[in-house]
Amino acid sequence: IAGITQAPTSQILAAGRRMTLRCTQDMRHNAMYWYRQDLGLGLRLIHYSNTAGTTGKGEVPDGYSVSRANTDDFPLTLASAVPSQTSVYFCASSEGSPLRQFFGPGTRLTVL
């Protein structure tokens, strides 16, 4: 079944540790996105990539980095996790912007 997969499903992480959230899509979409979802704040864009080899900053990029080496994969890295990065992280993709976005199942991250 075509779609977006995210790994891990959930993770508990000690503050200061490095963590990479994985995202893979098999729809050959050009654009990919990372959001975080927090109670009362809704979804906020962290980073995006309009096409392989390019990335851009969203609304809340600090503390996060991304890479887009190929069309299918868009990993999100927390270089040194802090408790305020406790959240649910969603990866999404679209054929291009500003087209319909398709979302993965999410990764629930807890930073202690």
Partner 1 sequence: KQEVTQIPAALSVPEGENLVLNCSFTDSAIYNLQWFRQDPGKGLTSLLLIQSSQREQTSGRLNASLDKSSGRSTLYIAASQPGDSATYLCAAYTDKLIFGTGTRLQVFP
Contact positions vs partner 1 (CB under 8 A): 4, 33, 40-45, 48, 58-59, 90, 92, 97-106
CB of 92 to partner 1, least distance (A): 8
> Among residues 65 and 103, whose Cβ is nearest to partner 1?
103
3-state SS class at 33: strand
Q: In angstroms, what is the minimal distance from the CB of 42 to partner 1? A: 4
When the beta carbons of 78 and 89 are compared against partner 1, the nearer one is: 89
**CA–CA separation, 89 and 105 (whole Å):** 9
| Cβ at position 13, least distance to partner 1 in Å | 19
- 8 Å CB contact between 11 and 71: no
Residue among 51, 59, 64, 67 nearest 18 (CA): 64
Which of 27, 65, 37 has the alpha carbon at shortest distance from 49? 65
The smaller minimum CB distance to partner 1, of residues 48 and 71, is found at: 48
